[in-house]
Amino acid sequence: MKLNITCIPGDGIGPEIIAEAKKALDAVAEKYGHDVQYTDILMGGASIDVHGVPLTDEAVETAKSADAVLMGSIGGDTTTSPWYKLPPNLRPEAGLLAIRKALNLFANLRPAVLYGELAQACPLKQEISGNGFDMLIMRELTGGLYFGERKTVEENGVRKALDTLTYDENEIRRIAVKGFDIARKRRKKVTSVDKANVLDSSRLWRAVVEEVAKDYPDVMLEHMLVDNCAMQLVKDPAQFDVILTENMFGDILSDEASMVTGSIGMLASASLNDTKFGLYEPSHGSAPDIAGKDLANPIATILSASMMLRYSFDLDREADAIDGAVKQVLQDGYRTGDIMSEGCEKVGCKRMGDLIVERIK
- Work out whether 20 is an interface residue with ligand IPM (CB under 6 A): no
Q: Which of residues 95-134 bind ligand IPM (CB under 6 A)?
A: 96-97
Phi, psi (deg, nearest 5) at residue 186: -115, -130
CA within 13 Å, CB half, 232: 17
Residue 184: Cβ within 10 Å count: 14
Long-range contacts, stretch 330-335, CB < 8 angstroms, 24+ apart: 330/115, 330/117, 330/118, 331/117
Phi, psi (deg, nearest 5) at residue 139: -105, 130
Rounded to 5 degrees, what angle do the CA atoms 95, 99, 104 make? 150
- Work out whether 270 is an interface residue with ligand IPM (CB under 6 A): no
**Could you give the string, one character per residue 65-84, with x where binding to ligand IPM holds by CB under 6 A and - elsewhere?**
----------x---------
Q: Which of residues 248-277 bind Mg ion (CB under 5 A)?
A: 251
**With contacts defined by CB under 6 A, how many residues of the chain interact with ligand IPM?**
5
Distance (Å, rounded) from C-alpha 341 to C-alpha 335? 8
Q: Which does 55 bind (CB under 5 to 8 A by kind): Mg ion, ligand IPM, none?
A: none
Q: β-pairing, 68-73 with 278-282?
A: parallel
Closest CB 282 distance from Mg ion, rounded Å: 12
CB-based closest residue to ligand IPM: 93
- Work out whether 251 is an interface residue with ligand IPM (CB under 6 A): yes
- Work out whether 140 is an interface residue with ligand IPM (CB under 6 A): no
- Work out whether 11 is an interface residue with ligand IPM (CB under 6 A): no
Distance (Å, rounded) from C-alpha 129 to C-alpha 66? 40
User: Segment contacting Mg ion (CB under 5 A): 40-48, 205-213, 243-251, 264-272?
Assistant: 243-251
**Could you give the string, one character per residue 199-238, with x where binding to Mg ion holds by CB under 5 A and - elsewhere?**
----------------------------------------
Q: Which does 93 bind (CB under 5 to 8 A by kind): Mg ion, ligand IPM, none?
A: ligand IPM
Q: What are the catalytic residues?
A: 146, 195, 227, 251, 255
Distance (Å, rounded) from C-alpha 177 to C-alpha 154? 42
User: Segment contacting ligand IPM (CB under 6 A): 1-9, 55-63, 90-98, 345-353?
Assistant: 90-98
Q: Cβ distance 281 to 71 under 8 Å? A: yes
- Work out whether 194 is an interface residue with Mg ion (CB under 5 A): no
Q: Which does 172 bind (CB under 5 to 8 A by kind): ligand IPM, Mg ion, none?
A: none
Measured CA to CA in angstroms, residue 267 lies from 44, 114, 226, 237, 300 at distances of 21, 10, 22, 16, 5
Rg (CA), the chain: 20
- By CB under 5 A, name the binding residues for Mg ion: 251
